[in-house]
């Protein structure tokens, strides 16, 4: 019962992050649930192998990214990124009437920009946290967010959508 309670708390405290990663990879709500379930199953099976518990979140994100990619390859389709539920101070602001367009624009960005933008603006992560999760230098995380945001703004301008 104690282990079950601990596992439940672990899932509850990290499910938003896992779902955010699954959403940015595209697909339906059902796909996101499948990805999250597979991610947590792999994480639970792999817990005994985790050498540094302080890196659990980064390790879990890595699993979620890999599961999402595998799932997408198996599905042979791409569905636009769903709109983030949370915003960050630096996140481009958008009118509610342009929300669907923003979702479509995010889906048009290459994956290498979607994931950093999701981690930064949806999850509110620092560049240092992003770098750890993605296994890249902090300067690269900053660059990917900057370039991704610039591409998003350029796509919006071409479509006549104003993002702040």
| Per-residue pLDDT reduced to its tens digit, 106-131 | 888 888 898 888 888 877 888 988 88
Domain boundary among 51, 79, 107: 79
Query: Residues 68-107: pLDDT tens digits?
Result: 888 877 764 444 444 444 434 444 554 445 566 777 788 8
Buried b (16+ CB within 10 A) or exposed e, 41-51: eebeeeeeeee
Rounded CA separation 133/62 (Å): 7
One domain for residues 74 and 146: no
Q: Which of 79, 96, 128 is the last residue of a domain?
A: 79
Distance in angstroms (rounded) separating the CA atoms of residues 106 and 91? 12
CA–chain centroid gap for 72, Å, is 14
pTM for this one?
Answer: 0.59
pLDDT top residue among 26 and 77? 26
Tell me how many domains the chain contains.
2
Q: Coil, strand or helix: which one is 146?
A: helix
Answer yes or no: do 20 and 63 share one domain.
yes
- Residue where a domain terminates, one of 38, 62, 79: 79
């Amino acid at each position: 019962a104690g282990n079950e309670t601990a596992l439940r708390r672990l899932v509850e405290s990290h499910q938003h992050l896992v779902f955010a990663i699954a959403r940015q990879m595209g697909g339906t709500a059902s796909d996101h649930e499948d990805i999250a379930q597979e991610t947590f199953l792999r994480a639970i099976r792999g817990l005994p192998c985790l050498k540094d518990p302080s890196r659990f979140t980064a390790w879990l994100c890595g699993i979620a990214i890999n599961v999402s990619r595998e799932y997408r390859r198996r599905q042979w389709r791409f569905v636009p990124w769903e709109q983030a539920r949370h915003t960050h101070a630096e996140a481009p602001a958008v009118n509610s009437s342009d929300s669907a367009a923003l979702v479509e624009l995010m889906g048009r960005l290459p994956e290498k920009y979607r994931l950093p933008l999701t981690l930064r603006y949806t999850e509110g992560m620092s560049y240092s946290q992003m770098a750890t999760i993605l296994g890249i230098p902090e300067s690269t995380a900053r660059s990917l967010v900057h370039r991704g945001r610039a591409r998003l703004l350029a796509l919006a301008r071409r479509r006549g959508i104003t993002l702040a």
